[in-house]
Amino acid sequence: AVIIEMVRPYRAYHEPLVSTDITQLKTELSLNLRKNGSIVYWDYQHPLYVKLLSTILPLVLIISAFFTWSEVPWAGALLMVTGLLLVIPYGGQRTLVTRDRITVRWGIFGIKVLNLDVSRIDTAEIHNFSPLRDFGGYGIRFNREMQAYYASGNTGVKITTLDGKKYLIGSDRVSELAAVIEGILEAR
């Protein structure tokens, strides 16, 4: 797990924002965009249940595979493969917002699950939802109205594109994520 954590393409940036006041954040963002400065905003969701499911359960399955291997090799191999596949979600969801793109990545390998060009976005707004009722759980979900990407919580940023497609990106700091996306949209 330590080696996999070291090769993971995302490194958390734990520096606090200059200001936690959203209006101040929008002002700073607007000034930076007017100067043609670069914008890089990382948002991540890595809840405890993902950490536990992607570390403890694979460990139990891999240990079980070693004990099972000598008696039933195919069952040991199945346990080993399943254990290794369950490590993939470790790392949770990471959202990257730049001046040109919004990218959502999942898991330890940073698998790109959403890549939106900012020029295609019409609106972005904070949206409350019920994970079980609206989407049937957490993760990468779809319903008739939109595609959703979230690992925890019940609030996200709902993005509507110019062609009418809707995406929901979950966040633990939803007001900051929404402010950054709205600020970029206003500066276009």
* Alpha-carbon span 177 to 153, nearest angstrom: 14
Under a CB-based contact definition with an 8 Å cutoff, are residues 160 and 121 in contact? yes
Mean pLDDT of the chain: 87
Highest mean pLDDT among 88-92, 156-160, 171-175: 156-160
For the segment 40-96, what is each residue's pLDDT rounded down to a tens digit?
A: 889 989 898 888 889 999 999 999 999 999 999 999 999 999 999 999 888 899 999
Q: How far apart are CA 182 and CA 22, in angstroms?
A: 11
Residue 25 to residue 28: CA distance in whole angstroms: 5
- Residue 150's nearest CA partner among 166, 171, 134, 177 is 171
Q: What is the pTM of this model?
A: 0.80
Residue labelled with tokens 């403890």: 56
